[in-house]
Structure 1
Amino acid sequence: MVDKVLGAYVLADLAFAATGGVLVGFSIIVKNTMNNAPVDGTEAVENLIYQEFPLTAGIVNGILVFVTFLLTIPAMITPTRGWLKLSYFFIVSSALFSVILGLYMWILTLRTKEDFSPIWDKQTTQIQDLMQTQFACCGYFNSTSPAFVTDSTCPSPAAAALMRGCAAPIASFVNVFVDDLFTGVFGMAGVDLALLLATACLLKDRKERARFRYIDAKVEGRGM
């Protein structure tokens, strides 16, 4: 008969390992591409926001997930509870790590408009041009603060004065963009929680089985 408790644990464990792959893969890809020249304003903003992300911490967390997964393999194939207990503490550590990463990303959305201002100031006129064109705006807070970049969207001071600043549309875009990402990170923490529950259930199941084996052994011993 299929051991349903162990089966649930294996499924949760595989999902847990998959989150590690996502963390490492996403972080490495972004680290390798975020400094590339953007083709439009949306990509420019994404690359700039990526540079504020804790990507190295994401890689470390992904590696922690893989180490934990390796610890769960002997926990699955041996009937004892020692490996399970050890992996439990590693799963808790990974879950806390994921929650911290998610909270860090969420904090980035609290003052997006103000925090993006110094980032805007550091960009070249070409990057500012891309963002002005993409979001149909001139300057950051307004056309004079800081001064807009002359382009097809903002061809003159008079035309630029009639346009909105880029702060509001960029902040709105960044908040939606980052919201989706940190929701995904919190979802990974949810997978961690599912594995913790599966581990607790498997620990209880093995404890019960060990107790019944002990009782059976005593009964057989008396029968002899």
Structure 2
Amino acid sequence: MRELRLSNGWTQAELAKRAGYSERLIGKAESGLPIARDTIADIADALSESAQSRVYWEDLACDPVQLAWKYLEALHDYQADAIDYMRPFLAEDVVVIVAGDPEKFPFAGKHVGIEEVDRIYKVFFSIMEAPQTPAYQDCYQVIAQGANAVIWGESWIHPIGHPIKTPVRFNKKLTFRRGKLIQIEDCFDTATGLDCMRGELSESPGPQGEVN
């Protein structure tokens, strides 16, 4: 809300006047305090007057950072069943774009629709797995860009049964509309990723199956 207001060059008082509410309420909303849905809808209508595209109440109520962390939770805790966990906030026509050559990375390319995205995540987790340690929350950073979110960091997801000693750097952009995730752009260090896929970054097994 604040970003859209500032992009219009409006003060809180100006947005309040256009929406028919007090400046205090606008300040409350921008601070993340709860307000009524109908009030959010009125503010969205006011912001739509000069926006390039219509602003919906769901856009203002959506917390992209929170949903980005739910996305990461799905990858690490649910893995092959990640899409089932994410369905409540996935658009039916969600698009996932994964970097890399599909001949080298079987999950690379552009994938459209929940069922196709579910299939490709199952392909990914048929050959890769997320480790229990280190804690994935410590490996990533998430910031909001308006109604969207950007994730970056180092991934320790590795070939099944072969933990890695060097993480793969990556960044992801999650695009939301009306509170639904409509696109994921997944970029990563493809050279290091290919080494990971080949097992060249794997820890060597030690005595009794321990990892060195």
Looking at CA atoms only, which structure, 1 or 2, has the larger radius of gyration? 1
TM range (shorter): under 0.3
Specify which structure has the bigger relative contact order, considering alpha-carbon pairs within 8 angstroms and separated by 6 or more residues. 1
Compare the two structures and name the one with the higher strand fraction: 2
Compare the two structures and name the one with the higher helix fraction: 1
TM-score w.r.t. the length of structure 1 is 0.23
